[in-house]
Chain A
Amino acid sequence: MISSPISAKNLCVLRGDNQVLDNVSFTIDAGDIFALLGGNGAGKSTTLLTFLGLISPSSGQALINGVEVGADIQGARAQISYLPESANLYPHLSAYENLEYFLSLAHISRSPEEISLSLDEVKLAPEARKKPLSSYSKGMRQKVSISLAILRRSPLLLLDEPTSGLDPLAIDEFNIILKTLSNLGTTIFMVTHDVYGACEVAKRVGLLRQGKMTSMFQAREDQKISVDEVHQAFRQSQAS
Chain B
Amino acid sequence: MLREMQREFNFAWKETALRSLIVVAFFLSAISLLAGALTINDQEDLALRLNTEIKSEQLQILKGKTDPGDIAYSLFHLTFDPPSELAFVAVGQRNELTWLHRVRLLALEGQIHETSDANPEILTLGHLDFSFFLSVLLPLLVIGLLFDIEAREHRDRRHELICSASRFGNRIFLIRAMVRSLLLAAAVTVPFIIAAINSNITLIQASSVIGLTLFQIVVWLALSQFITRRMREAATAGLSLISIWLVLTLLIPIIGKIFVEYRVPVPNGGSILLTQREAVNDAWDLPKTATMKPFTEAYPEWREYGDVGKPFEWKWYYAFQEMGDRTAKPIAQALYKGMRDRHEAMAWIALLSPSLLIERRLTALAGTDVLQHLRYIQCSRRFHAEMRHFYYPFLFHEKAMSESNLAEIPEFKPCAL
Instruction: Please report A residues at the B interface, Cβ cutoff 8 Å.
Output: 49, 52-54, 73-74, 77-78, 80, 82-86, 88-90, 92-93, 97, 101-102, 104-107
State whether the Cβ of B16 lies closer than 8 Å to any Cβ in chain A.
Answer: yes
Instruction: Report whether B172 and A84 are in contact in the complex, using a CB–CB cutoff of 8 Å.
Output: no
Instruction: Report whether B7 and A82 are in contact in the complex, using a CB–CB cutoff of 8 Å.
Output: no
Instruction: Report whether A105 and B14 are in contact in the complex, using a CB–CB cutoff of 8 Å.
Output: no
Quick one: which of B264-317 are within 8 Å of A by CB?
none
Q: With A84-B158, A101-B7 as given contacts, are A106 and B14 in contact (CB-CB < 8 Å)? A: no
Q: Can you list 21 pairs linking A and B with CB atoms under 8 Å apart?
A: A52-B164, A53-B164, A53-B169, A54-B160, A54-B164, A78-B167, A82-B161, A84-B158, A84-B160, A85-B157, A88-B157, A89-B158, A90-B158, A92-B16, A102-B161, A104-B3, A104-B7, A105-B165, A106-B165, A106-B166, A106-B167
Closest to B16 in A: A92
Quick one: which of B1-27 are within 8 Å of A by CB?
3, 7, 11, 14-16
Q: With A85-B157, A86-B157, A97-B14 as given contacts, are A77 and B7 in contact (CB-CB < 8 Å)? A: no
Most chain A Cβ neighbours within 10 Å, of B16, B156, B160, B163: B160
Instruction: Report whether A77 and B157 are in contact in the complex, using a CB–CB cutoff of 8 Å.
Output: no
Quick one: which of B150-178 are within 8 Å of A by CB?
156-158, 160-167, 169, 172
Instruction: Report whether A92 and B166 are in contact in the complex, using a CB–CB cutoff of 8 Å.
Output: no
What is the bound-complex CA distance between A159 and B166, given in angstroms? 17
Instruction: Report whether B158 and A93 are in contact in the complex, using a CB–CB cutoff of 8 Å.
Output: no
Q: Which residues of A contact B172 (CB under 8 A)?
A: 105
Q: With A84-B161, A88-B158 as given contacts, are A77 and B167 in contact (CB-CB < 8 Å)? A: yes
Partner of B169, one of A73, A82, A86, A93: A73
Q: From residue A64, how far is it (CB to closest CB) to chain B in Å?
A: 12
What is the bound-complex CA distance between A85 and B157, given in angstroms? 7
Q: With A93-B14, A105-B172 as given contacts, are A82 and B156 in contact (CB-CB < 8 Å)? A: no
Q: Which residues of B contact A101 (CB under 8 A)?
A: 7, 11
What is the bound-complex CA distance between A104 and B3, given in angstroms? 9
Given contacts A82-B160, A88-B157, 19 further A-B contacts (CB under 8 A): A53-B164, A54-B163, A54-B164, A73-B169, A77-B164, A77-B165, A77-B167, A77-B169, A78-B167, A82-B161, A83-B161, A84-B161, A88-B158, A92-B15, A101-B7, A102-B161, A105-B166, A106-B166, A107-B3
Q: From residue A112, how far is it (CB to closest CB) to chain B in Å?
A: 16
Instruction: Report whether B14 and A92 are in contact in the complex, using a CB–CB cutoff of 8 Å.
Output: yes
Q: From residue A205, how far is it (CB to closest CB) to chain B in Å?
A: 23
Q: From residue A99, how far is it (CB to closest CB) to chain B in Å?
A: 11
Count of interface residues, chain B, beta-carbon cutoff 8 Å: 19
Instruction: Report whether B157 and A84 are in contact in the complex, using a CB–CB cutoff of 8 Å.
Output: yes
Q: From residue A131, how far is it (CB to closest CB) to chain B in Å?
A: 14
Q: Which residues of B contact A54 (CB under 8 A)?
A: 160, 163-164
Instruction: Report whether B157 and A105 are in contact in the complex, using a CB–CB cutoff of 8 Å.
Output: no
Q: Which residues of B contact A88 (CB under 8 A)?
A: 156-158
Q: Which residues of B contact A90 (CB under 8 A)?
A: 158
Q: Which residues of B contact A82 (CB under 8 A)?
A: 160-161, 164-165
Partner of A105, one of B15, B156, B160, B162: B162
Q: Which residues of B contact A97 (CB under 8 A)?
A: 14
What is the bound-complex CA distance between A78 and B169, given in angstroms? 11
What is the bound-complex CA distance between A104 and B166, given in angstroms? 9
Q: From residue B7, how far is it (CB to closest CB) to chain A in Å?
A: 5
Q: From residue B162, how far is it (CB to closest CB) to chain A in Å?
A: 7
Q: Which residues of B contact A107 (CB under 8 A)?
A: 3, 167
Q: From residue B417, how far is it (CB to closest CB) to chain A in Å?
A: 51
What is the bound-complex CA distance between A180 and B283, given in angstroms? 109
What is the bound-complex CA distance between A77 and B3, given in angstroms? 19
Q: Which residues of A contact B163 (CB under 8 A)?
A: 52, 54
Quick one: which of B127-167 are within 8 Å of A by CB?
156-158, 160-167
Q: Which residues of B contact A106 (CB under 8 A)?
A: 165-167
Q: Which residues of A contact B169 (CB under 8 A)?
A: 53, 73, 77
Q: Which residues of B contact A78 (CB under 8 A)?
A: 167
What is the bound-complex CA distance between A93 and B7, given in angstroms? 14
Q: Which residues of A contact B161 (CB under 8 A)?
A: 82-84, 102
What is the bound-complex CA distance between A88 and B157, given in angstroms? 6
What is the bound-complex CA distance between A80 and B165, given in angstroms? 8
Q: Which residues of A contact B157 (CB under 8 A)?
A: 84-86, 88
Instruction: Report whether B167 and A74 are in contact in the complex, using a CB–CB cutoff of 8 Å.
Output: yes
- Mark contacts of B317-332 with chain A using CB atoms, 8 A cut-off: 1 yes-contact digit, 0 otherwise: 0000000000000000
What is the bound-complex CA distance between A84 and B155, given in angstroms? 13
What is the bound-complex CA distance between A80 and B167, given in angstroms? 12
Closest to A158 in B: B164
Q: Which residues of B contact A93 (CB under 8 A)?
A: 14
Q: Which residues of B contact A102 (CB under 8 A)?
A: 161, 165
Q: From residue B318, how far is it (CB to closest CB) to chain A in Å?
A: 78
Q: Which residues of A contact B166 (CB under 8 A)?
A: 105-106
